[in-house]
Amino acid sequence: MNSDKTPNLIIPQLIIGLGNPEPKYDRTRHNIGFEAVDALARDWGLSWQENKRFHGFIAEGDSSLPGKIRLLKPQTYMNRSGQSVRAVLDWYKLAPESILVIYDDMDLPLGRLRIRLSGSAGGHNGIKSMIAHVGTENFARLRIGIGKSTEKATISHVLGRFTPQENEVILKVLDLSRKAIELGLKQGLQKAMSLYNNQSVEIGSNLC
């Protein structure tokens, strides 16, 4: 008797972008998660609605993709993001394994994507908060590389804005992220990992 089992496909039901809510943080490196879900909402024709129960903005609806799509932008500040995520999970009765969170990562070069199905916070305060509130590390994440600065302190770097050249990279990275996520929604995040984890965009690249 063959006891081998095909791994269950992981298809997100809730996609979360992490960031800080005040206008002074708009388009900073640390807010790349917000930019990513904003781009998804535009591409999928979804509108944001403020929801005080969720401590954030949520966009939901049916699109050309399979199933119901929900996007979330917590408005609790980065280090309390888990409060918002927990509220949404409880309301919709979703398991932690059904979420995908998008956020910045200094340990990845600018333009690099990496999808993981679980893991530690890696020093990211938003992920620390999510793990604390959700109670597990078993949720998928898509990290977008913002690179490190040899000239600026960490806080100045993550709260700084991209240069014009870097912005060209970020636009292409956000498009690449959308393609990876759409594949994950259709065929599972495992498939998206296999195709997109080694892809990156460099300054001057024509990748689109």
Q: Are 169 and 110 in contact (CB under 8 A)?
A: yes
Q: Does residue 25 fall inside a structural domain?
A: yes
* CATH code for the domain in which residue 174 is found: 3.40.50.1470
In sequence order, the 6+-apart residues with CB closer than 8 A to the CB of 195 are 180, 183
Confidence at residue 154, expressed as pLDDT on a 0 to 100 scale: 82
Question: Distance between CA 84 and CA 70 in Å, rounded?
Answer: 14
pLDDT at 207 over 70: no
pLDDT at 69 over 90: no
Band (1; pLDDT cuts 50, 70, 90): very low
- Total domain count for the chain? 1
Question: Distance between CA 102 and CA 32 in Å, rounded?
Answer: 8
Q: Does residue 166 fall inside a structural domain?
A: yes
- Per-residue pLDDT, averaged over 184-204, amounts to 89
Band (63; pLDDT cuts 50, 70, 90): low
Q: Parallel, antiparallel, or unpaired for β 68-74 and 56-62?
A: antiparallel
pLDDT at 184 over 50: yes
pLDDT more than 90, % of the chain: 80
In sequence order, the 6+-apart residues with CB closer than 8 A to the CB of 50 are 56, 57, 75
Query: What residues are designated binding site for tRNA?
Result: 25, 77, 79, 125
DSSP state letters, 73-116: EE-S-GGGHHHHHHHHHHHHT--GGGEEEEEEETTSPTTBEEEE
pLDDT at 13 over 50: yes
pLDDT at 60 over 90: yes
Considering 6-15, 76-85, 158-167, the range whose residues carry the highest mean pLDDT is: 76-85
Q: Does residue 2 fall inside a structural domain?
A: no
Is 133 annotated in the active site? Answer: no
Element at 176 (helix H, strand E): helix 164-187
Query: What residues are designated binding site?
Result: 25, 77, 79, 125
pLDDT at 123 over 80: yes
Q: Does residue 202 fall inside a structural domain?
A: no
pTM over 0.85: yes
Give the range of the structural domain holding residue 175, as residue numbers without chain letter: 14-196
Q: Does residue 204 fall inside a structural domain?
A: no
Band (6; pLDDT cuts 50, 70, 90): very low
Backbone angles phi, psi at 65, to 5 degrees: -90, 160
